[in-house]
């Protein structure tokens, strides 16, 4: 029995591809990522080059590859002080499998933790984009200083922290200096990083506050052409190995299900719907 073309075409509509991607083409016995067969990439490109290829769609220049490597290395670890590491270890202690613990760590990156990189990139990119004419980009140091001053004053007047500056554990974070030196060496010190440095100079003079790792990497990644929306992702790539290491340490060296909180550590108070300020909760 024959069926009409129209019917068939209607049936075919159901089979139209549900998935579309430009990242990797998979065929039997062939896996092509961003145009390169994977067997040509393995053993030939560095891991940061692969990261760049995946995120930006093309391979980086050698200096960019070295710079991205330094950025990823700089995010490595901060001991057990970050909430994400505490979360990963508490989960490990309760017997959750490795992937759950890493996921917990990654999901802990919120507005306040790890979010600073993204917010710092967003701020720098916005200031430069709105104020610098890239057809005529000879912005003088003085222009940048004015932009920096306006920004700093705006934040200070509103009693808000500038993302990328100040650190709750370090008066002078030891990482930004080395990152900026590496950026200069690899030709990745551009207008965004310069702006960040000027902001630091102002803040240091006015409030004794210095640049932190997020501020330095925000400038550098922006100068490398990474949209701010990639900030948290790049931080994650750099931090995941340490999360794994902490989870293994907790599982190997500690007693399972140890008490992180004793009854005596907890202060119980009556619920007070008046002082319970849900509006602080932005969700």
Footprint of a copy of itself on residues 8-27 (CB under 8 A)?
Answer: 8, 11-12, 14-15, 17-27
Give CA–CA dist 64/11, Å, rounded: 49
* Contact yes or no for 98/89 (Cβ under 8 A): no
- Interface residue with a copy of itself among 62, 76, 146, 150 (CB under 8 A) is 76
Is 160 a binder of a copy of itself (CB under 8 A)? Answer: no
Biggest alpha carbon–alpha carbon distance for the chain = 87
Is 272 a binder of a copy of itself (CB under 8 A)? Answer: yes
Shortest distance, position 218 Cβ to a copy of itself, whole Å: 15
Q: Which is nearer to a copy of itself, 7 or 140 (CB)?
A: 7
Shortest distance, position 211 Cβ to a copy of itself, whole Å: 13
Is 270 a binder of a copy of itself (CB under 8 A)? Answer: yes
| 131's tokens | 């104020």
What's the length of the chain?
Answer: 283
- Considering only residues 139 to 158 of the shown chain, the ones binding a copy of itself according to CB under 8 A are none
Stretch that binds a copy of itself, among 101-109, 126-134, 136-144, 187-195 (CB under 8 A): 101-109
Stretch that binds a copy of itself, among 80-88, 128-136, 139-147, 152-160 (CB under 8 A): 80-88
| 194's tokens | 């310069």
- Considering only residues 35 to 54 of the shown chain, the ones binding a copy of itself according to CB under 8 A are 35, 37-39, 41-43, 45-48, 50-51, 54
Size of residue set near a copy of itself by CB under 8 A: 146
23 CB burial (10 A radius; 0-12, 13-18, 19+): exposed
CA-nearest of 99, 141, 105, 91 to 232 is 105
- Interface residue with a copy of itself among 59, 96, 149, 156 (CB under 8 A) is 96
- Considering only residues 230 to 259 of the shown chain, the ones binding a copy of itself according to CB under 8 A are 230, 232-233, 236-238, 240-242, 244-249, 251-254, 256-257, 259
Q: Which residue has the tokens 């080395």?
A: 178
* Contact yes or no for 58/34 (Cβ under 8 A): yes
Stretch that binds a copy of itself, among 126-134, 149-157, 167-175, 198-206 (CB under 8 A): 167-175
Neighbouring residues of 31: CB distance < 8 A, sequence distance ≥ 6:
24, 25, 37, 38
* Contact yes or no for 211/161 (Cβ under 8 A): no
Helix axes 62-74, 47-56, angle to 10 degrees: 100
């Amino acid at each position: 029995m024959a069926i009409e073309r129209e019917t068939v075409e209607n049936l075919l509509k159901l089979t139209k591809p549900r998935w579309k991607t430009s990242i990797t083409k998979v065929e039997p016995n062939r896996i092509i990522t961003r145009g390169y067969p994977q067997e040509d990439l393995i053993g030939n490109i560095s891991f940061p080059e692969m990261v760049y290829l995946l995120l930006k769609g093309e391979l980086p220049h050698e200096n960019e590859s070295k710079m991205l490597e330094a950025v990823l290395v700089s995010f490595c670890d901060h001991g057990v002080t970050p909430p994400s590491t505490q979360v990963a270890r508490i989960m490990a202690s309760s017997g959750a499998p490795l992937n759950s613990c890493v996921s917990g760590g990654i999901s802990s990156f919120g507005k306040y933790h790890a979010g600073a990189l993204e917010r710092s990139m967003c701020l720098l990119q916005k200031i430069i984009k709105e104020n610098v004419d890239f057809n005529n980009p000879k912005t003088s140091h003085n222009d940048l200083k004015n932009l920096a001053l306006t920004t700093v004053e705006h934040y200070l007047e509103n009693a808000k922290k500038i993302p990328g500056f100040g650190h709750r554990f370090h008066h002078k974070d030891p990482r930004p200096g080395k990152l900026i030196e590496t950026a200069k060496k690899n030709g990745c010190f551009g207008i965004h990083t310069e702006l960040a440095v000027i902001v630091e100079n102002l803040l240091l003079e006015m409030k004794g506050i210095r640049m932190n790792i997020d501020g330095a990497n925000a400038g550098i990644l922006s100068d490398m052409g990474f949209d701010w929306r990639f900030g948290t992702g790049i931080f994650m790539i750099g931090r995941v190995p340490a999360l794994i290491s902490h989870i293994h340490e907790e599982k190997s060296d500690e007693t399972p299900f140890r008490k992180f909180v004793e009854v005596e550590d907890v202060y119980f108070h009556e619920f007070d719907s008046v002082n319970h300020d849900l509006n602080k909760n932005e969700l």
